[in-house]
Amino acid sequence: MKAYFIRKATSRETVGLFVAPSLVALAGVVDECCDPTLCEYAPAQTGGLMAADVTASTWPRPTGEAATGLEDAVLSQQWEDDLGAIDSTLQWKPLAPAAWRLLKTLTPAVEGTEPSELMDSENSPE
């Protein structure tokens, strides 16, 4: 498994931190919150999210418990440096190719159809 930072490509808006075994699986997880074809990813180096203070939350969470313990999480120093520096060593790459591969695996009946043909005009790539 690998961890990835995800952002929207045009605005650089933060989408989140995701863990997935492959880029295709990553596109599937990102699809839970936004269109992965509009996103970029950068592999996360060693680092983590830490509870900012003592928390009453526990893992596993009791049924119905909304708090995760990470509501006010802070980044490790390495991730703070990676995400906060203009001269960061993170290399951002488009997630769209993996999203297209995911789409093709989910729609085998449309073999040979271009991915853009499977999307509505509002979401199709330019």
Q: For residue 75, give both structure tokens.
A: 């980044």
pLDDT at 121: 37
pLDDT at 125: 41
Domain extents for the chain? 2-53+77-118
Q: What are phi and psi of 7, to 5 degrees?
A: -140, 160
Per DSSP bridges, beta strands 49-50 and 93-94 are: unpaired
Task: With beta carbons less than 8 A apart as the criterion, state whether 31 and 38 touch.
Answer: no
pTM equals 0.78
Burial 70-82 (b: 16+ CB within 10 A, else e): eeeeebeeebeeb
Burial class (CB in 10 A: 0-12, 13-18, 19+), 55: middle
Q: Which residue has 């509002």 as its token pair?
A: 122
For the chain, 126 residues long, give each residue's pLDDT as a single digit of tens. Answer: 999 999 999 999 999 999 999 999 999 999 999 999 999 999 999 999 999 888 878 889 889 988 888 988 999 999 999 998 776 789 999 999 999 999 888 876 555 555 555 444 344 343
Q: Which residue has 């526990």 as its token pair?
A: 58
